[in-house]
Each structure stands twice: as C-alpha cells, then as structure tokens.
Chains A and B, each alone.
Chain A
Amino acid sequence: MRVSTQSVQLSALTDLNRGMSSLLRAQAQATSGKRFTKASEDPAGSAASMTAKAEQRQVMRWQRSADDAAALLGHADNILVSVQERLERVQGLMIQANSGAIGDSSRQAVASELRAIREELLGYANTQNEGRSLFGGTEATAYDAAGVWVGNSAAQMRNLTKTKQVQVNIVGTDMFGAQAVAPADPLDGDLFQVLEVAATAIEANDTARAGQALTNIQGYSASIAQAQVTIGARSREVESARTLLADRVGDLDIRISDVEDAEMEKVFLDVMTRRAAYEASLSATSKLITPTLANFLR
C-alpha cells in the first residue's frame, strides 16, 4: 500500500489522540475516584446509584423520625413516673386521713395538699414536648383548668420504615379518664374530678366517700401503670428500629461506593499501562516522522 507524508502524519496523529484520550479517561477516574461522572458512562450504574442514594436519604428521614419518637416516648415515660410518685403520696395521705388518727386541722392540711397535687397532675397531663402535647391526641391541651377532657383520641404516628409505624402518644383518657359529659356524681369522673371529690370528702370527714375515691384513684394508678408498660414496649420497638436503620445507612454507603467508586488498584494500573502505551507510541512516532530520504542522501 502506498503511503504519503500526510497519511503517515494523520495516521500517527489519530493513534496518538486515541492513546491520549484513553489515558485521560483513566486519569479522570484516578483523580475523581469515581467510576463514572456522567449517566452516559454507565446508565445502569447511575440508576443503581440514584436509587441507593434516594433510599439512603429516606432512611435518614426515618432515623430523624425514630429519634423524635424515642424522645417523645422517653419524655412521656419520665412524666408518668412522676405521676405515679404523686399518686402514691395521694394514697398515703388518704389512708392516713381516713384512719381517724388525725384531727380537723390536719385533715384541712391533707385536703389542701391533695388540691395542690391535683394541680400538679393536671400540669403533667398537659405536658408539652417542643410545643406538642404528649397526652392530648392531636389537640394542644389535654385537660382544661377544671379537669375536663378537651383533647382527642387521635394517634400520633412516626414512620420507622416504609411499612412500619409506631404510635408515640398515649391518649390521656386511657390513663386519667374522661369526662366528655359531666357525670351525675363527680366521683365517676376523671382523675382530677375524683381528686377534688376526695379533698372535699376529707374536709367533711366523709370516710365512706373518701374510701370510694381512694378505690377509684387506685384504678387510675393501675391504668397509668398499664400505659407505662405500653410505652416501654414501644420504646424497645423504636430502639431496635434505630439500630436497624443505622445498619441500613452503613449498608447503603457500601452499596453506593460499590457502584460509584473506582477500584483504585485497577485504576492506577490502568493509568500506568496506558501511559506506557502512550509514551511508546510517542517515541515510535518521533522515529517514524523525522527521517526522510534527504537525511541519507549526500
């Protein structure tokens, strides 16, 4: 086949360009550390990478929800422990008052302490976490100042995974009772009504009514203990979900890296090989292009 100076030049130049661009591609992988930087370089890999990243961000949102659920449940648990403490004090006071061992003035003191505890408990029932009522359903207030239920029974849910949700609130009526319609006898009302009845009965030294009130208060205490058990179960559920979610974030990090990141050993080897090939073709070209017959004629 005939060759001409120009065809030799073009052919050498085309080959050099190919070697150079192949070297550049390897170099780009080495410097970016990524197997591809554009979707066209690996459409399937891009899809996998985008899916994994979206899932990871989703998992991180679930983590935030789970953290919030843990905080809310922990807060509710602390509050209920305090409530139980106060109710034990109430029961002790009432047993003491009903035993007949104390005088009128002491009974007055017990009654006013009961009223103070009632106020305190009402405050606990309306506890808020970052402005969110713990026991009022989706309403901001659970019980008004008169101890009347103004919340609702809606559940507040947090997503732990795509399919799994956890309820983070205990509806106040499950623990403190409800008084949607005022009952004929306040003794049948909610905890706050009953406490008021108890205080009045002790003032009046009505031991039968005070005894009845004590029984009802013990019933509410049992309901609250039940709620504490529920909260404990839910907290464990949230904890295990948090562990799983943290593992999942790590797994997805690995998966994203598998898809996106270049294998460094291979990339460096590629760069070295292509560089050697490029240098070889440069040196061969320089030997081919320089001489003509003119170099050898006298």
Chain B
Amino acid sequence: MAFNGLSTALTGLSAHQRLVDLHAHNVANAATPGYSRQRLELTSQGPGQAGGIFSRANEIGAGVRTGSISRLRNAFLEARAITEHGLMGKSTVEVETYSFIEDIFPEPIGDGIAARLDQLWGAFSDLADRPTSLPLRSQVLVEVEQVAGAFHLADQRLHALRDNAAERAEILSREVNTAAQTVADLNMHIVAARLGGMPTADLEDQRDLLAMRLADLTGAQVRTLENGSMTVSIGGSAIVSGPTARSLVVNDDGVNVSFTWDSPGGAPAVVPGGEIAGLAEATNNIVATYRGRLDNLASEVAAQVNAIHATGYGSDGVTGRNLFDPAGVTAATIAIDAAIVGNPAAVAAGGTSAPQDGDVARTLAALGEADNGPDAIFRDFIVTLGVEAGAAGRRAEMQQRVTADIDIARLAESGVNIDEELTGLVTAQHGYAAAARVITTVDEMLDTIINRLGVVGR
C-alpha cells in the first residue's frame, strides 16, 4: 500500500487554490455590467483504472479533479429580457415623442394657438361694435398675422422634432453596426477558443452585453449555435451570422425613414422594435399625424374665415376679398392674403357698404363658439393628443416595470453575491489548510516509518 494521501492532498491544495482565484475573480467583477458569475466544476477522482476481476485496486479515490469554468445564467430569463428590452426601447422613444409634441402645444394651461385664435375673434368682435374705426381694422390684420405666426411656429417645431428623430435613428444605426461587427469578431474568437479548449466565459459575457444593446436599439433576436457562435437577427434577417456582420442603413427622404441592408445593397430591412423602431414610428407616424392634423386646422381656419369675410364689404366699399391667402393652405404656408397686407380698409366689417355696418365682423367673431369652428377643432386636437400621449405613457410605464422585473430576476441569477463568494472563500481557505494538514500528517507517518521503524535493539 502506497501513501496515496500525498498526491490526493496535492489535488486538494491546487483545487482550493484555483477556487480562491475564482472567488477573487467573481468578487472583482461584482459590479461589472453583463458579468455572469463563474463556477469551477469540481469532480471527485476515482481510484485509478478499473481493476481486473480478481485483483483489487486501491478502493479510495485519488482526490479532486478541477474541470472547466462555467457561467451561471438562466437562458430562459436572458431570452425574455432580450424581447422585453426591444419592446421597452420602442415604447420609451414613443412616449418621449408625445411629450415633446405636448410641449409644442402648451394648452390647456399655457397659451398657444387657442389664445391667438381667441385674440382674432376678439378683434372681430371689437370691430363689429365700432365698424368706423380704422385702427380696429388694422388690429384684425395684426391678429391674422399672429394666428399665421402661431401655426408656423408649431409646424416648424414639429418639423424639427421629425428631423431630430430621423437624425437620431441614423446615429443609433452606426452604434448598431459597430456592435454587430464586434459580435461577429467575438463569434470568431469564441469558436476558435472552444476548439482549443480555452475558457470563453468572459468573451461570452461581453457578447451577451452587446446582444442586449442590439435588442435595446433594434428589437434584435438572438440564437446561440452548437459551436458557440451567436446569430443576431433583426426582423427575421440576420445582421450577424458567424464571423460576418451586415450593416443596417437608415434612409431619410425628408418625409419617411426607411431601412435597408448594405448587402445585398438596398435590400429592405424591417426593424421591429427598439429605440430605432420607436424613432421611425415617431417620424413616419406620430409626428406626421400631428402635422396632418395641424395642416387640417390651418386650412379650416383660413377657409371658414375667408368664406364669411368674402361676403362683407371693406370700408372702401369693395367686397369678395379674402383675409387669408386661399391657395394650398397648410400650417407651414398659412398667411395673410397679399392683397390685404397694409390695407386695413380692405378688412370687411359689414354685409353692406354702409360705413357703420358690423354684421359680417359679428358673424366672424361668432366662429369662436361655432360647433365645428376652429376652436372646437383645436380642442379636439388637444384632447386627442392628451389621450394618445397618456396611453403611450401608460404603455411605457408598464413595459418599464416588466423589463425592470426581468432584469432583477436575471441579475439575481447571474450576478455575484458577495456573501456567497466570501462563504466560498472561507470554505476554500479551510479546505486548503486541511489539505496542507493532510500532507503534514502523511509526512509524520513517513517519518515514523523512516526514523522510528527498525530501531529495536540498537
């Protein structure tokens, strides 16, 4: 019988030494984003080769064998997190967009287009009471220009919002392409490292972190293949496949934002989620819708005011004139009619050319309370904005809660628990000390044999 204890204790010493190293690695990365805690796979070593039928080998095992290092993470939670992050990116951008639009229209508390329209009705009302007053006619012209100015300002700000969203989508697409390229490079390294039997845990962490960022930006989906390589796809087509990556191209034609792949060049891409999808939704849909509604309001204001104004007579006795330029009215183009600029006498107050007739101005003033008048349309505009923005806000809040819950759950699974690491450290330390004590014991046993045996009769 040999003193196997020495070599057994040696495996214990080195295993516990590695355990201490690994706990040190885990503790050092307790705050590293995307780090998954690692575990050293330990197995007990059996008693050598299986013996023959009649011969008996050593029955006691030969110590501990250290295996590979594995990452502890829950693949199911990770997959759900990828999906939820994609949804959250989109809903967050949408709610931001609505909030910007609400800033552009400060109603109901602040004064915006509604206040300007009200000033116009007030000017008509005053003119109706004092049709002979030229200053009050000039006042009408001023208010008409103010109304047009308020529309221009709102439209410009909506337009700037659209441009910003499109530009931000373009900038984020560059981040997507860089991240995709890095994932492809990591794929190459991981596959090669695996073939060489090298540990890949830290590389995989880095890759998972990038995949999560891609999900945040584009709603990408992820699949890991047998050989360790990761396929990332956006809207069903792969942006990263093995060691190669494609580029997502954002095209802005000034109206809509669309996506294509760089290879094959110009192939259309679908971005289903993430911030970029939210930005596309903002430009193509949300802002476009509100610009359309604002255009509609502007054209209603011009048409309704003109229709009544044209029936009236200016103080110069001429009838049939427009107050707003009637050609192709949008929020960007609504303007005072060129023929009436600087000519307050052309503002119509009466239904006849009599100098003290204010009937038409009175009818114009009553537009403010008309059931389908500009004020009513604008109120509807604000309420619709409020309802849609509120719904988007609630969706985003719910999505944020779900995403936070998933993140907490997966961090609980993959994150480092310092208490646990310290406990492990204490265990490893004691294990190391015990293994060292075994060696001392065997040493003393050998000492007994070598120095104490065979001294009888000396």
Interface residues of A (CB under 8 A from B): 1-7, 10-11, 14, 34, 36-47, 49-51, 53-55, 57-58, 61, 64-65, 68, 130-133, 136-140, 152, 154, 156-159, 162, 260, 292-294, 297
Contacts and interface: CB of A to CB of B under 8 A. Distances in A.
A55 B356 CA distance: 28
Interface in B123-159: 125-126, 128-133
Contacts of A130: 130, 132-133
B356 A132 contact: yes
Interface in B384-413: 385-390, 393, 404, 407-409, 411-413
Contacts of A4: 37, 411-417
A156 B102 contact: no
- The 4 A-B pairs at the shortest CB distance, nearest first, are namely A39-B386, A4-B415, A138-B354, A40-B389
Interface size class of B (residues with CB under 8 A): 35 or more
A292 B386 contact: no
A39 B381 CA distance: 10
Most chain A Cβ neighbours within 10 Å, of B31, B359, B369, B411 = B411
B28 interface: no
A6 B408 CA distance: 8
Interface string B349-378: 010101111110010011011000001000
B383 interface: yes
Interface stretch (B86-94, B106-114, B171-179, B290-298): B106-114
Interface stretch (B249-257, B281-289, B419-427): B419-427
Given A6-B411, A7-B408, 18 more contacts: A4-B416, A6-B31, A6-B416, A10-B411, A14-B408, A39-B382, A39-B389, A43-B390, A47-B379, A50-B107, A54-B368, A54-B379, A140-B356, A156-B356, A157-B362, A292-B419, A293-B423, A297-B422
A156 B105 CA distance: 39
A38 B382 CA distance: 10
Given A4-B415, A39-B386, A57 B118 contact: yes
Given A39-B386, A46-B382, A2 B356 contact: no
22 contacts: A2-B412, A6-B411, A7-B411, A11-B408, A14-B404, A14-B408, A38-B389, A43-B387, A46-B383, A50-B107, A51-B379, A53-B108, A58-B121, A58-B369, A61-B122, A65-B125, A131-B130, A131-B133, A137-B354, A138-B355, A293-B422, A297-B422
Contact of A132 (B108, B132, B426): B132
- Chain B CB within 10 Å — which of A14, A54, A68 has the most? A54
Nearest to A43: B386
A154 B354 CA distance: 9
B107 to A, nearest CB: 6
A38 B390 CA distance: 10
B30 interface: yes
